[in-house]
C-alpha cells in the first residue's frame, strides 16, 4: 500500500509508462528532473509552500488503504481561490465544480469546494499522514466513499461502464476491509443528491454489501 510521497510518484510514473496509449507519445519524458516521481514531489512541496488547503483523494488516496489500484493522475479537493494560487498549473478544463490541469506533464483533477459535499469532505473527512519528509492531507475511508457514491449515479446516466465498475470495485474494497457505517454515509450523501439518486445508491450499496458478506463467508470471516 501507499506509504511515501515517492510511492505516489512511482505509481503515477509506472501507470503512464505501462499504458499502451502513451507508448507513441513523443512528449513523454522520464529524463532526470522531469520524471513524474520528481514532479509529484515538487508539486506537494509547492502546496506546502503556498499554504494550500487541500485533500488528496481518488486512486492515489485509495492506495493508502487498499492494494491494487492503478492511476495516472492526482485528485485533490480544494477551493478555487487556492487553485488560483498555483499559476504553475496549466488548467485545460474547468466547470462549476471540477477542473483539470497539468503540472509538468502530470495530470491533476481538482474537485472544487463550491460543491457543498466536496467542502464537507475537505473539512470533516481528512487526516494528516506523515510521508517521507512531508505531511500530506489525505481523505479518510469515509471521505473517499462519500465522493465515490456521489459520483456513481451520474456515471450510470452517462453509461460509463468502465468508471462505474472501477468505482464499485473501490467501494467494495473499502467496505470489505474497514466495515464503515454505510447507512450513515448514505444518509449524508443523500442530502446532496436527488431522490432518484438516493434510491439508486441504496440499491447499489445493498448489492455490494451482499457480495462482501458472501465473500467473507467464503473466506470463513
Q: What's the pLDDT tens digit per position in 196-218?
A: 999 999 999 999 999 999 888 87
Using a CB cutoff of 8 Å and minimum separation of 24, what contacts does 19-27 make?
19/72, 27/105
**What is the CATH code for 5-139?**
3.30.460
Which residue, 117, 105, 108, is CA-closest to 197? 117
Each residue of 163-188: pLDDT tens digit?
899 999 999 999 999 999 999 999 99
Give 81 or 64, the one with higher predicted confidence. Answer: 81
Each residue of 108-162: pLDDT tens digit?
999 999 999 999 999 999 999 875 467 889 999 999 999 999 999 999 999 989 8
Q: What are phi and psi of 129, to 5 degrees?
A: -120, 130
Hey, where are the domains in the chain? 5-139, 143-218
Reported pTM: 0.84
Task: Kindly give, in sequence order, each residue whose CB lies less than 8 Å from that of residue 38, ignoring residues fewer than 6 positions away.
Answer: 9
Q: Are 115 and 103 in contact (CB under 8 A)?
A: no
Residue 3 pLDDT exceeds 50: yes
Q: What is the pLDDT of residue 1?
A: 57
Each residue of 25-70: pLDDT tens digit?
444 444 444 566 778 888 988 999 999 999 999 888 888 888 766 6
Amino acid at each position: 500500500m501507499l506509504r511515501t510521497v515517492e510511492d505516489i510518484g512511482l505509481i503515477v510514473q509506472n501507470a503512464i509508462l505501462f499504458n499502451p496509449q502513451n507508448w507513441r507519445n513523443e512528449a513523454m519524458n522520464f529524463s532526470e528532473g522531469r520524471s513524474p516521481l520528481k514532479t509529484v514531489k515538487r508539486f506537494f512541496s509547492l502546496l506546502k509552500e503556498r499554504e494550500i488547503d487541500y485533500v488528496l483523494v481518488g486512486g492515489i488516496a485509495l492506495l493508502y488503504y487498499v492494494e491494487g489500484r492503478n492511476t495516472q493522475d492526482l485528485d485533490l479537493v480544494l477551493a478555487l481561490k487556492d487553485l488560483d494560487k498555483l499559476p504553475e498549473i496549466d488548467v485545460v478544463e474547468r466547470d462549476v465544480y471540477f477542473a483539470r490541469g497539468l503540472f509538468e506533464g502530470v495530470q491533476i483533477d481538482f474537485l472544487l469546494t463550491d460543491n457543498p459535499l466536496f467542502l464537507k469532505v475537505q473539512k470533516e473527512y481528512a487526516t494528516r499522514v506523515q510521508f517521507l519528509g512531508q505531511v500530506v492531507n489525505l481523505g479518510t475511508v469515509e471521505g473517499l466513499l462519500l465522493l465515490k457514491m456521489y459520483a456513481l449515479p451520474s456515471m450510470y446516466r452517462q453509461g460509463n461502464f468502465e468508471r462505474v465498475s472501477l468505482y464499485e470495485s473501490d467501494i467494495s474494497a473499502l467496505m470489505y476491509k474497514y466495515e464503515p457505517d454505510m447507512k450513515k454515509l448514505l444518509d449524508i450523501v443523500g442530502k446532496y443528491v436527488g431522490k432518484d439518486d438516493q434510491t439508486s445508491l441504496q440499491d447499489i450499496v445493498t448489492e455490494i454489501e451482499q457480495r462482501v458478506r458472501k465473500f467473507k463467508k467464503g473466506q470463513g470471516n
